[in-house]
Amino acid sequence: MAGMITGIEVETVRAAVERVREEIAVAARKAGRDPAEVELLAAVKYIALEELGVLVEAGLTLMGENRAQELEAKAEAHPDVRWHFIGQLQSRKVKQILPYAELIQSVASDSALRQLERHGTSETEILVEVNVAGEEGKAGIAPDELPAFLERAPVRVVGLMTMPPFSEDPEDSRRHFAALRELASAHGLTRLSMGTSQDFAVAVEEGATLVRVGSRLYGA
C-alpha cells in the first residue's frame, strides 16, 4: 500500500517511545496527575504488517488501526497486542471489528449502534466520538446530542474521543480537549481518547487517558 512505513529499527522506535512516555509523564505531573493514568496507543495505519514485530520488541503493547481489514490481518498476526479501532467507523464493518478490538473508539452514528446491538455482547465497550469543534463534514456527534445518544447505546459507553481541528500550535487544541473532559465528567465517563503526535502533551494536561501517537514514534 502506498505510503506505508517500512524499514523501522527497534532501537529508533524504543528511543522514541521513551521520549514520548517521558513527555506524557511531565505533562501528567504538571496537571497533578499520575502518569500511570495515561495509556500510549501506537497508531499503526501506515505501518506495514511485517514491521509490527519491531514495534512489539520496542515495547509497544497497545495499537490502534483505522481500517477494519487491516485490523483483522494485524490482530491475527499479533494476538499478543491489545487492539483498538480508531478510524472512521462504517456500520457495516462493526461485525468484522468486534472480535479483534477490545475498544472501538469512534462510534458516532445510530447505524453503528444498531450493529452493536446486533453483534455486540455484554462485554463490549465503546467510546463515542464527539465533534467538539463543530467542524463541517467531520465525524463525530455534536456535544448536545450526547445525552440522547448515550441513552440509545446498547453497549457500555466508557468514554469519549475527539479529533480537534489540525493546528501547528498544540495550544489551539486545549479548549477542545477541555470541552471534551467537561462533557465526559458531566456524564460520568472516565476514559478520554484525545491527543495525537502534535498535541498529546496538551491533551494529557487536560485529562486524556488515551493518547493516539503515530509519527512521533516512527520518525515519519
φ, ψ at 45 (rounded to 5°): -55, -40
pTM of model > 0.85: yes
Residue 2 counted as domain residue: no
Q: Which of 15, 1, 91 is nearest to 51 (CA)?
A: 1
Residue 3 counted as domain residue: no
| CATH number of the CATH domain containing 26 | 3.20.20.10
Give the domain extent around 61: 10-218
Residue 4 counted as domain residue: no
Taken as a whole, the chain contains a residue count of: 220
- State how far the Cα of 86 lies from the Cα of 63, in Å rounded to an integer: 9
In a structure prediction context, what are the per-residue pLDDT tens digits for the chain, which is 220 residues long? 557 888 899 999 999 999 999 999 999 999 999 999 999 999 999 999 999 999 999 999 999 999 999 999 999 999 999 999 999 999 999 999 999 999 999 999 999 999 999 999 999 999 999 999 999 989 999 999 999 999 999 999 999 999 999 999 999 999 999 999 999 999 999 999 999 999 999 999 999 999 999 999 996 4
- State how far the Cα of 217 lies from the Cα of 59, in Å rounded to an integer: 11
Domains identified in the chain, total number: 1
- State how far the Cα of 160 lies from the Cα of 142, in Å rounded to an integer: 12
Residue 44 counted as domain residue: yes
Residue 175 counted as domain residue: yes
Residue 1 counted as domain residue: no
